[in-house]
Structure 1
Amino acid sequence: MSDLNFEKQAQDYYYKAPLIILGSGASAAHGMSGMGALAKHLVAHTDIAGLSDPEIEAWKKFCLVLKDGVDLESALHRVAVSEELTSRIIKTTWSLINSEDIQIFQQSLQNQAMFPLSRLLRHMFKSSLTKINIVTTNYDRLAEYACDQEGVHHYAGFTHGFFRQRAAPNEITSARRVNIWKVHGSLDWFKSPLEDIVALSNIQGIPANYKPEIVTPGTQKYQTTHLEPYRSIINNADLAITAANSYLCIGYGFNDEHIQPNIMSKCQRQNTPITIITRSLSDAARKLLLDGKAQNYLAIERGATDDQSIVYSSLNKTSVTVEKNIWSLEGYLSLIM
């Protein structure tokens, strides 16, 4: 029997007021499509009418690569797609994720306990904290909905309202605030006919002459994120990551070059503690954390059933199996509250 006191370790890391990192697993917990479902949706629903012959050939090759079991990001790296085809992939991606996002919002109107993230934020704000930082690769607005349910102001790079325009962090003041740094864009970001980026709250479809501002996987990701507002958002995310005393990763797979380099630098050079809770630890997470590169870590994944968890700790040489759910955010909250 292990002497590992993972409850105390979880609490010690939590009481350092962690920066929260949300990955796709945090949204999958609410039924949002992951990369696999998105890939199938793209193959079935992307409009290719009117494309040139080379673009049609690239699309066919892309679909074949996906059907061979290659993941979406690798497929988009492997097959060169034109700007027009990329635009259509973005629109199809937006349509799927936005419809699921709106459905979750509707459900949340009937269920005040829907978001464990709301309870986490409430508990964190019981301290002297006035600002909490969330960094996310997700396009959806579940973090924003969680803030709204808790009655906490959030800032995501734009003014408040229905037609929102870009605003610096110091333009939005409140007694308590959650900063949500969305490094790959958001469902409510659009390029307007004036070529600037605006945010439109909870609309059902893409307005005429507006283009969704979400960054799909692939080579375009690194080109687009050098532009505004991504450049400023990523810079602010980097500042928050650098200033953090602790990290809490929820469903994050450590597969994004925009986020983890600074995180791992802090974990390796300054021994900043990191907690990961997820359904399944990714290969990247295992390599970065469990192979001796992070000094202070607690990683928890699902076991054989939902009511079993596997705990990996920098305080213990071997993993520990726990017969309860502490791998989900709901389960993790039982360790710290």
Structure 2
Amino acid sequence: MSGIDYQKQAQDYYHKAPLIILGSGASAAHGMSGMGALAKHLIAHTDTAGLSAAEMEAWEKFCQVLNDGVDLESALHQVAVTEELTSRIIKTTWSLISSEDIQIFHESLQNQAMFPLSRLLEHMFESSLKIINIVTTNYDRLAEYACDQGRVHHYTGFTHGFFRQLAAPTEITSSRRVNIWKVHGSLDWFKSPLEDIVALSNIQGIPANYKPEIVTPGTKKYQTTHLEPYRSIINNADLAITSASSYLCIGYGFNDEHIQPKLMVKCLRQKSPITIITYALSEAAKKLILDGKTQNYLAIERGATDDQSIVYSSMDKTPLTVEKNIWSLDGYLSLIM
């Protein structure tokens, strides 16, 4: 690929105002736990008091499957867990991710340059863009914090304030806005005692009689996402994906049935350009993008060290090794700014 100018390719794709897709790798860059660490935390900390014998049996089987090295999503598909057990798994997941999320928020108060995503959004808004769409599978609020640091208004499907209620995109207007479509829910979403979904901005724990609204991997994921607010959020994410003319995937593994189908149709049928930056390309990403029929792609993963990157481009079938970090969001920004 020596003849290929990957920097020019990155800039061309970027100038088409990409929709941003954030995967777990985007949060891992800030020290958030991935699926592996979450699995260990679940085994160690899930409250099993008062479970029935059948539930205990399912729980032990679930732990065994995880200990055998099966990933969390597959484990939750393999072992049928009851609603009670699912709700305990959700609570334990919430407590781990929430504590890490709040820790990162506190760090960001001391460090104005903490989120490269802030710089990316500010740079994108230097154009005539009025709205940027982010689609994410993450529960954490790092994208929201990045917006705040970049002095950009964001909308996640709710009104503003401390006790937030569902609101249509037309209800909230500002001259520039980032829409963050959280297809698996968010740490600040809860089912209230009235059975509606609300978002609470400034709480550390789960309020009495409220249930966290995050969708854990596994079989319940697809049942839950037919309900509100997920249905509207996924619908809005679909509309955003369909209307975008370019995509920038940050730490996204291409393993989500809520995002994939529309995205792949755009890349395959309409040849929309896609840029992927990540620590390591997932098998799914390689299969869909590199070995698939995607026409216009630029994928960059970490090489042997942090200061090495491997570049895959639709312009050349041979990967190129570059002796600098362009695989992280910080590194990628050096290509386009």
TM-score norm. by structure 1 comes to 1.00
Match of 1:120 in 2: 120
Rounded Cα–Cα distance in structure 2 between residues aligned with 1:167 and 1:266: 28
Alignment correspondent of 2:87: 87
Structure 1 unaligned blocks of 5 or more: none
User: Is the Cα–Cα contact under 8 Å of residues 102 and 202 in structure 1 kept in the other structure?
Assistant: no
Is 2:202 aligned against 1:202? yes
Q: Deviation per CA, 1:282-322: give whole Å up to 9, x if none.
A: 00000000013200000000000000000000001100000
Distance, in Å, in 2 between the alignment partners of 1:325 and 1:317 is: 21
Aligned to 2:24: 24
> Size of the alignment, in residue pairs?
337
Segment of structure 1 superposing worse, 193-202 or 16-25 = 193-202
Deviation at 1:32, TM superposition (A): 0.1
* Offset from partner CA, 1:18-62 (integer Å, 9 cap, x none): 000000000000000000000000000000000100000000000
Q: Indicate the percent of aligned positions where both proteins have the same amino acid.
A: 85
**For the residues of structure 2 that align with 1:260 and 1:191, how far apart are their CA atoms?**
27
Q: 1:279 maps to what in 2?
A: 279
| 1:232 Cα deviation from its structure 2 partner | 0.2
Deviation at 1:119, TM superposition (A): 0.1
Q: Is it true that 1:311 corresponds to 2:311 in the alignment? A: yes
Corresponding letter in the other structure for 2:303: G
Shift of 1:4: 1.2
User: 1:332 aligns to what?
Assistant: 332
Q: Partners of 2:260 and 2:280 in 1: how far apart?
A: 18
Distance in 1 between the 2:317 and 2:153 partners? 42
* 2:220 aligned partner: 220
Corresponding residue for residue 322 of structure 1: 322
User: 1:203: Cα distance to partner?
Assistant: 1.1
Distance 1:245 1:228 in 2: 28
Secondary structure at 2:317 match in 1: coil
State the alpha-carbon separation in 1 of the partners of residues 202 and 172 from structure 2.
21
C-alpha separation in 2, matches of 1:327 and 1:304: 12
Name the counterpart of 1:233: 233
Unaligned residue ranges in structure 2 (runs of 5+): none
Kindly report which structure 2 residues correspond to 1:159-178, keeping only aligned pairs within 5 A, or say none. 159-178=159-178
**Alignment pair present for 1:65 and 2:71:** no
Instruction: Name the amino acid aligned to 2:23.
Output: G
**Contact (CA 8 Å) 1:326, 1:335: kept in 2 or not?**
yes
Q: Could you tell me whether the CA contact under 8 Å between 1:77 and 1:219 is conserved in 2? A: yes
Instruction: Report the equivalent of 1:133.
Output: 133
Q: Identify the residue that residue 147 of structure 1 maps to in structure 2.
A: 147
Q: What CA RMSD, in Å, does the superposition of the two structures yield over aligned residues?
A: 0.5
1:221 counterpart letter in structure 2: K
Tell me, what secondary structure is at the counterpart of 2:316?
A: coil
